[in-house]
Amino acid sequence: MLVKGNDFQDNVWHARIQLHHVEPVPDTPFSRVVLTGTLRLEDNRFGDASWGGATISAANATAVGNRFEGANAWLALRAHHGSAVGNWWGHPSGPSGAGTGDGNRYAPYGANLAYEPWLAEAPAFERVGCGG
């Protein structure tokens, strides 16, 4: 799945995109989430919101060329394989959270979900239209 060219601004809640299913754990009353599919978050803009940013979950997930700017813009990436390289975190020093920069927060949930190198300045943004 490709999510590209969207402008997530002035939202009350964040964007949440999840590719998974829930299955029972054998011989227990519990269930577990199983990540599936491939997701690419590309060339989107995430800005000011009450609880802004994005949570993406997939077996394979990549976030690239996105702009996380504004006080509450962040990225939570949950994947078995993937990365968040080549994004603008709102500050040239890179993301806070998993990173050591002063930019917006990056929270990886999975091993080896890199965020370096990041963009030192915001990329141009062009909204992609829907429909025809």
Please report the sign of the dihedral spanned by the C-alpha atoms of residue 18, residue 20, residue 25, residue 29: positive
Name the residue among 47, 17, 51 with its Cα closest to residue 35.
Answer: 17
* pLDDT, tens digit, 9 for 90 and up, residues 73-107: 889 999 999 999 999 999 999 999 999 999 999 99
The domain ranges of the chain are 2-109
Is 115 in contact with 98 (CB distance < 8 Å)? yes
* pLDDT, tens digit, 9 for 90 and up, residues 46-56: 887 666 678 88
Predicted TM-score (pTM) of this structure: 0.84
